[in-house]
A and B are shown apart, each in its own frame.
Chain A
């Protein structure tokens, strides 16, 4: 922690699906302007936690606070309005709309009209290096471009907190480095706070200042990247996994 008041405060969140405990009493804070990562093996509950934060479903118990507001159980659109932008691990482009229109939908939230939203959308397309694709249908994008589109859309809603769900997957190492640089610059320039789920350790290590590790729905470790890679509990749960 940097000492600042946490922007996101997850306290004692549990969630079960038909008896399967996906999250068990998870508590985790993200400070303002921090870049934090959530890692863990497949099925650890990372995306479930994202969905709870973003309001896709309410937790069985526990609370989610953004700044001063308790946002537990609010609808996804209200949570977006509260200041959380998210991407989807399984990308969800508006396939029949162009790339520019996709981002315009997101930008409309803070804009007075369509013209203003389109201008703002162009800015985010440039930022994510998608400006040459502006007029293409989202259905025709490659997977890495779709991932970028997810980020551009989430950013265009003007969030205080950005939730990124595996946006580096499928990117080449050089592209990963550029995305990392872009996100870091965004944080430095705009004071954005970022929480990311990532399997690409190259990105996690380069980007995050703090990491929480989930395993079987429980937080088994939390700390700086240096500490996490030496934590025996983390190493054990990843045993046989070549990523760490």
Chain B
């Protein structure tokens, strides 16, 4: 049986070919997909990036966060505010955005780990922090409070490519988020095979044994939270300049945090490619559900006045339940095994 940790092994020839083919299709997507497909694909990669960041904490280091929207939100608000207030382009604004997200992560991590708040209680702490920041921003007028914070965008911005100010055509956003998500994948692969990765997995599997073998548990947990929140902060910058509007109720909503976890759970917690694979399944599926409902309403199979907003989440939840029941390691290890995508052997 293939386990999540095995998936850092090199790809088999079949895996390389399939990977190259999928990558080619995705690279050419703007040439054959319409604007709708582009929007969905951009969302997929965005959620994959957030998922990768979340997976680093739980899958690698064993730290459950249900407040990842916090780091995304801090990154988003920081870069958006600096852009609007002092004209700082996001290409530079991403640095303070990362810094603030990491700082928040470290504060949360320190409080949690210093006082030995573990497992589910740590998860509650992450929710509490996300809610706390949401409520604070609700009352900060220069961040738009509940009215929302908006970024200026002109019609001319919707064409061309301006990576410095993150203004341009949908294709630019698509390629950018694709690059970021794949970059995060490469970074995570590198980290997992480094000293950090070994120590994180040791802490995840048995904290006291790791400590007895000389691992400074507090420090390496802090590294995990810092890197994870920094990655989420980058995703937040993208979110702000892609959406151009930020509302505390939406950005910091726990639904965003849960969304960040679902792709990884479906794809495989602790795997490198699981977060991307999972969002590639869930997001289009959610779209299909929404479309199907619209169609059924259009044909008057369902009363058009019926509110079915929660249905997408319901379908997702159902899938997650099935995955947890039948493929608790996620779909990606299973797909790898069935399609022989990775090289056999003990070497990693």
A residues contacting B by CB (< 8 A) are 54, 56, 75-77, 80-81, 85-86, 88, 92-98, 100-102, 104-106, 108-109, 113-114, 117, 134-137, 153-154, 156-157
Contact A114 B213 (CB under 8 A): no
Which of A54, A105, A109, A136 counts the most B-chain CB atoms under 10 A from its CB? A105
Please determine whether B214 and A97 come into contact, CB atoms closer than 8 angstroms. Answer: no
Q: Would A108 and B199 be within 8 Å (CB), given that A80-B214, A100-B346 are in contact?
A: yes
The answer to whether A97 touches B5 (Cβ under 8 A) is yes
Report which of B3, B194, B204 forms a contact with A114, defined as CB distance below 8 A.
B194
7 interchain residue pairs of minimum CB distance? A135-B346, A94-B205, A80-B214, A92-B209, A109-B214, A76-B211, A106-B213
Residues of B within 8 A of A94 (CB): 201-202, 205-206, 209-210
Contact with A along B180-222 (1 / 0, CB 8 A): 0000000000000111001101101110111111111100000
Interface of A is mostly: mixed
How distant is A159 from chain B, measured CB to nearest CB, in Å?
A: 10
Is A80's CB under 8 angstroms from B212's CB?
Answer: yes
Tell me if B346 and A105 are in contact (CB < 8 A).
Answer: no
Using Cβ atoms and an 8 Å threshold, which residues of chain B touch A157? 213-214
A96 touches B214 (CB 8 A): no
Interface contact B212-A54, CB-CB below 8 Å: yes
Given contacts A80-B213, A135-B346, contact A97 B208 (CB under 8 A): no
B window 304-348: CB within 8 A of A: 345-348
The answer for the CA separation of A95 and B346 in the assembled complex, in Å, is 16
Q: Does B4 make an interface contact (CB < 8 A)?
A: yes
List chain A residues, Cβ under 8 A from B193: 114
Q: Are B3 and A76 in contact (CB under 8 A)?
A: no
Cross-chain contact B214 with A77 (CB below 8 angstroms): yes
23 A-B pairs with C-beta separation under 8 A: A54-B212, A76-B211, A85-B213, A86-B212, A88-B212, A92-B206, A92-B208, A94-B201, A94-B205, A94-B210, A96-B4, A98-B346, A101-B348, A102-B202, A105-B201, A109-B213, A114-B194, A135-B345, A135-B346, A135-B347, A136-B346, A153-B213, A157-B214
